[in-house]
């Protein structure tokens, strides 16, 4: 029972174009969402997050959009660069009253390849 789903295992994008990575979730208790980037043999690196009270958060080339009614979020990278090639994980947590740990529930990841 996957609560966070990344349905595209891989994505290829031309350098300079926009990369759009998608994520769907099923647990309505999730109220905080994060994107992590992972290179081989390294731990995940935090990229950007968004609280459920917002529908957009932007940081440089990275923008995360949240559609709560659709339980969907997406990460936009523009312009894409070859150094962005990595596996991107979507993660979610529930921080409301009564929540236990702020454990993250992760998707399986999307491997992004940016072609020069």
Binding site residues, other proteins, CB under 8 A? 4, 6, 32, 34, 36, 41-46, 49, 51, 89, 91, 93, 95, 100-109
11 vs 100: CA distance, rounded Å: 35
Considering the complex, what minimum distance in angstroms separates the CB of residue 87 from other proteins? 10
Instruction: List Cα–Cα distances, 33 to 63, 72, 82, in angstroms.
Output: 13, 10, 25
With respect to other proteins, which residue has the nearer C-beta, 30 or 106? 106
Considering the complex, what minimum distance in angstroms separates the CB of residue 15 from other proteins? 27
37 vs 17: CA distance, rounded Å: 19
Q: Which two tokens stand for residue 8?
A: 């595209």
With respect to other proteins, which residue has the nearer C-beta, 15 or 31? 31
Considering the complex, what minimum distance in angstroms separates the CB of residue 71 from other proteins? 17
With respect to other proteins, which residue has the nearer C-beta, 77 or 107? 107
With respect to other proteins, which residue has the nearer C-beta, 16 or 96? 96
Q: Which two tokens stand for residue 30?
A: 């999730």
20 vs 8: CA distance, rounded Å: 11
């Amino acid at each position: 029972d996957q609560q966070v789903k990344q349905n595209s295992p891989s994505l290829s994008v031309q350098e300079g174009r926009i990369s759009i990575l998608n994520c769907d979730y099923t647990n309505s208790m999730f109220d905080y969402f994060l994107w992590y980037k992972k290179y081989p043999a390294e731990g995940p690196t935090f990229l950007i997050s968004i609280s459920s009270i917002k529908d957009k958060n932007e940081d440089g080339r990275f923008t995360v959009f949240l559609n709560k009614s659709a339980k969907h979020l997406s990460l936009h990278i523009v312009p894409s660069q070859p150094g962005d090639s990595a596996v991107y994980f979507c993660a979610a947590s529930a921080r409301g009253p009564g929540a236990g740990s702020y454990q993250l529930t992760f998707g399986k990841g999307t491997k992004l390849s940016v072609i020069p």
